[in-house]
Structure formats: C-alpha cells, structure tokens
Amino acid sequence: MTQPPDLGRRRFFRTFAKDVVQTAGVALETVTSLNRAATEAAGAILRPSSVLEPPPVAGEPAAGPRHPFRVDGDVLLIVDESRLPDAVVEIECRSPIDVAREIARRTLPGGSVPGQAAAMSLALAASEMRGYLPTVRTAIMGIRSSGLAEARPSSQHLRNAVARVMAVHDAAAERDADGAALAAAVRDEAEAICREAELAVALIGERLIALLPEAGRRPVAVLTDLTGVPFLVAGARERDVLVQVLEGGPERRGARVGSWLLAQAGLDHAVVADAAAGWLLGTGEINAVVVGAERIAANGDTINDIGTYPLAVLAARHSVPFYVCGADATLDPAATDGVAATVPGRAGPDTWASTVPRPAPRDEVTPNELIAAIVTERGVLRPPFAAPPLQVR
C-alpha cells in the first residue's frame, strides 16, 4: 500500500536546502571579494558606464549633478571624476564590493563622501538580503562592511559611517527583527548619515567664509586644492571671493573637477599650477589657504591628500592663515597625534614614469603648529589645540 507523502519531512529538506544555499553565499562572497580586483578591467568592459551627458561644446564645462553619487532603485551610481569635465559618466555599483573598489580607486572624492556612499551601499545590501537567514545575513554584512572600511583607511568619516550602520544592523538583529524591518532601520541610518554630512558641509562653509580675513574693497582671495572646494562652494555666496584652485598633480583633479564645481556654483576662480603656489603666496595677494581633511588627530594634526603639508609650510612662511575644514566625524580622538593616526603602507600613483617606479603615499600629516584654525560644523577649533580631545572655542 502506498504511504501518504510526509509533508513535515518535505518541509525539513526544503529548509535544509535553503540553509545550505544561503550559507554557501558567505563563502561565495569571500571568494568574490578576492577575485574582484583581478577582474576589474574585464568588468569595465562587461558593465560599461552610462554617459549622462554628451561631451560639452569646446570651452564649456560639462553639465551634470553636483553630488558625486545617487541611488537608482537597487543600484548606486557614482560619478567618475576621471572623466570630468569632458563628460559626466556614472559607474554602476551593484554591491558594496563595487563601492569599495571605487572608493579605493578614488573615483569618489574625499571628506564625507566615501562614508555616505558606503552607508547607502550597505543599506541597499541589507534590502537585497531581506529573505536571508539572520546568521547568513549578518555574516555577509560583516564581510562587506570590513571591505568598505578598509577601502580608504585614512578616512575617519568612512570608518565612522560604516560603524554606525553596522551598530544599527546588529541592534536590530539582536531584537530578532525580520529582514524587512532590519533593512528599513539600516536605510534610515544611512539616510541620516547622508543628511548630516550635507548639513555639516553647509555649516562649515558658512563658518569658513565668516572666518576669512577682510580684503578691503577687493574680493577675498583664497588658495585651495580640490579638498577645500566643497566648503567654499557651500559658503562663498555670502562674500565676494576669488578662488585660486591648485592644479592637483599628475591627475589634475583640481583643474578638472575643482574648477568644474566652482564654475557650476558661479564662483570667480582660476587654476594655479602646483609649482606656482609659493610664488602666488609671495605676492601678498592671497588672504587665506583652505583645505579639507581625511582625519584629524586629538592634538590637531591633520591627515589629508599628499601636497597639503608643503602648502601649509608655504602659507606659514608668508604669514597667510591656513584653515582646515572637517566635519566632527573626521575627528579621531583615539589618535593622540598625526603619527598615531597615520595608516602605514598607503601607496599612491607612481611618481616616476621610469623602469623603476617609486610609489608615493596618497596622504600625509600636516602638524598642528601650521594650522590657524580647524573649522567644524559645531564651531572653530583654534590653537593651542587640546589633546585629547579637541575643544571648540
């Protein structure tokens, strides 16, 4: 006699099979992370970027979004800075692995932007994994968050943003929240990080412009690099400012991206060759030097893009105030000074186009004694800087 089907047994094996498949996803995630770098070139061909706007008319800047990234459904679209200003091109990032790669490549600018992009990519990942088993989801999110945090080790904002998102994720997981509720909580936190970062830039810009010295009847002349441009754009409408933006080394990021952003904001500006910074400061026509920051140690030492330190030295030599702009999330109270805050082994582009390439670091420390003030959204930090922590005066 034929036995009736055992429905309980069937459910058991279906659940078991699903567990096996999802658990295998953790291993697959690890393997994918390791192999992604090796397949980057092929990926660029298989997943071409989309050009949002055609190349501009000669002599005119490209039109396009000012924000470096945006979310479209379940995809994070990052503006490729290397293509500006000739065209606004977006790179599709379908997972935090893609976002980590672009952060490491510095497709995204510094400051708070990598942290914002990382937070949103984790939110999209949590949404994608709504139906996963909690243990599997937690394991994969842990792998992805670690990869994002290490993509740009010098960025304190990036580390803070990833830590905030994962704290919300872990708290929801401990409450046994279902996948949808957990994804919603993570998305709320990511959006809060983005809102706070944008507000911080606006507030810092306002404080910076108010801090700039008076220049009589002429515009206030500011020398900056690409890292300082967002803050000047945010606040310069309140005063008549002439921005001199440094060219930015072999990649010419200041000339390409900085001048494009300044032009879109309608600010009077000019591009200055890096080698001419000392001469320009020596003319006495520059009222202030402004830069951004990747990380600020407890004693006020600042880590930023390579080239910041000699610019600070030149400013000090010519008695021009040197201002650093950084959100509170850039402060690293655990690092007593710049040496403690420095991430070793951060090699950048080769400085010599020869048979013996010599890698240069991407970031460097500017000692606090060269800094006239650190501008944050909460206020202005002035020397002598307290250690630890920095105190707003």
CB atoms within 10 A of CB 198: 15
* Amino acid occupying residue 252: R
Please write the tens of the pLDDT for every residue from 73-122. Answer: 999 999 998 888 888 899 999 999 999 999 999 898 889 999 999 999 99
CA 174 from centre of chain:
30
pLDDT of residue 262: 95
CA 87 from centre of chain:
21
State how far the Cα of 66 lies from the Cα of 344, in Å rounded to an integer. Answer: 33
Domain extents in the chain:
48-201, 204-381
CATH superfamily placement of domain 204-381: Translation initiation factor eif-2b; domain 2 (3.40.50.10470)
pLDDT of residue 66: 60
Global pTM reads 0.81
Taking alpha carbons only, the member of 258, 253, 340, 362 closest to residue 296 is 340
Averages of pLDDT over each 10 residues, the chain, 393 residues: 52 46 44 38 31 38 65 95 89 97 92 97 97 95 97 95 98 95 98 97 96 93 97 90 95 93 94 97 97 95 96 98 96 89 57 56 93 96 71 53
Considering the domain 48-201, what is its CATH architecture?
Answer: Up-down Bundle (1.20)
In DSSP terms, 243 is beta-bridged to: 222, 269
pLDDT of residue 81: 87
Q: Which two tokens stand for residue 83?
A: 């293509």
